[in-house]
Chains A and B, each alone.
Chain A
Amino acid sequence: MTIIAVASIVTAGLTIAMGSIGPALGEGRAVATALSSLAQQPDAASTITRTLFVGLAMIESIAIYCFVVSMILIFANPFWNHVIAQVAGK
């Protein structure tokens, strides 16, 4: 029982830690590129901003998936419920 708790908490931490590296780098690149293209073409600001927001949402959703998985591991862990049901059944 304890080992499941330890494994879930450590995995939740690892999930959000590793899962946020990629989106962070990606969002940084996207914003930097959008800023430089805004500086080159201020007229196209509305198009660039819209595309940037949609793209950022796409990139960010990866981090959000990791967050949801770690929240499931901590607050709604299926293995945890299984173990509790087994212990209660004994």
Chain B
Amino acid sequence: MHLSPDEMIFWQYGLLKLNGTIVFTWALMLVLTLGSKLITRNLSTGLERSRWQNLLEIVVSAIERQIKDVGLRHPRKYLPFLGTLFLFIAMANLGTIIPGYEPPTGSLSTTAALALCVFVAVPLFGIADLGLRRYLKSYTEPTLLMLPFNIISELSRTLALAVRLFGNMMSGVMIIGILLTITPFIFPIVMTVLGLLTGMVQAYIFSILAAVYIAAATHTRGSDTRGSETDLRPAPTP
């Protein structure tokens, strides 16, 4: 039993290794890019649409609505980044129904790379929206004393993003592996279904958290009421 798809080695030449994570990530990239290329090749604006175009429209508009609900006012600006994150993680986690496939998100390298993307993208979006001075000032937002804590939270939430996705996917694979040795007939299938659900929820959570972080970076705290803080407040009682 191995801990992550890093340990499945397909091809090796000296120091160059082609492990499971890389191979499955490339396969996913191929499927995603080729699929969207083929579907968007002949789009139509009329009532006659292919079913694949309908599917993509549903996916894109649902992601756009979710981004808007988090509190980002111009979802089109953030749609490419957040949508790509969601689609990649969702496809990576849903691929577990294919036998022999191991989710590349079950490797800490993939999730760390995705979390680093968020770590870099949040200040970039913040600076693009607020300007460098106001963005840097938002680190000292309540008082100057909070500066180190804001920086620590920036780092720790990146770590949390990476370890959360990795832990969830790795535990899914691990539980199925352990169950196969104990009750190898029906029960692993039930756990696989549960793993698919967890995978979708994790993909949703990863992209929603990225959206919440971007929303927190693009609104100055206090001056704007439609920040991410309003979303985490409990609903008012009637």
| Pairwise interchain contact B3-A50, C-beta atoms closer than 8 A | no
| Pairwise interchain contact A54-B209, C-beta atoms closer than 8 A | yes
Q: How many A-B residue pairs have CB under 8 A?
A: 59
Q: Which residue of B lies closest to A33 (CB)?
A: B234
Contacts of B69 in A (CB 8 A): 46-47, 50
Q: Which residue of A lies closest to B174 (CB)?
A: A71
CB distance from A55 to the nearest CB of B (A): 8
| Pairwise interchain contact A76-B3, C-beta atoms closer than 8 A | yes
Q: If the complex has contacts A53-B205, A57-B202, are A47 and B164 also in contact, measured as CB distance less than 8 A? A: no
Say whether B155 faces chain A, with CB atoms less than 8 Å apart: no
Chain A contact residue count (CB 8 A cutoff): 23
Contacts of A54 in B (CB 8 A): 205, 208-209, 212, 232
Summarize A's interface: helix, strand, loop or mixed: helix
Residues 125-164 of chain B: 1 if any A CB is under 8 Å from the residue's CB, otherwise 0? Answer: 0000000000000000000000000000000000010011
CA distance A54 to B164 in the complex (A): 12
Say whether A85 faces chain B, with CB atoms less than 8 Å apart: no
Within the complex, which residue of B3, B163, B204, B238 is in contact with A65, where a contact is CB–CB below 8 Å?
Answer: B163
Instruction: Enumerate B169-221 residues with CB–CB distance to A below 8 Å.
Output: 170-171, 174, 201-202, 204-205, 208-209, 212
Say whether A83 faces chain B, with CB atoms less than 8 Å apart: no
CA distance A77 to B171 in the complex (A): 17
CB distance from B178 to the nearest CB of A (A): 11
Within the complex, which residue of A37, A44, A53, A67 is in contact with B171, where a contact is CB–CB below 8 Å?
Answer: A67
Say whether A81 faces chain B, with CB atoms less than 8 Å apart: no
Say whether A2 faces chain B, with CB atoms less than 8 Å apart: no
Report which A residues bind B (CB closer than 8 A): 33, 37, 40-41, 44, 46-48, 50-51, 53-55, 57, 60-61, 64-65, 67-68, 71, 75-76
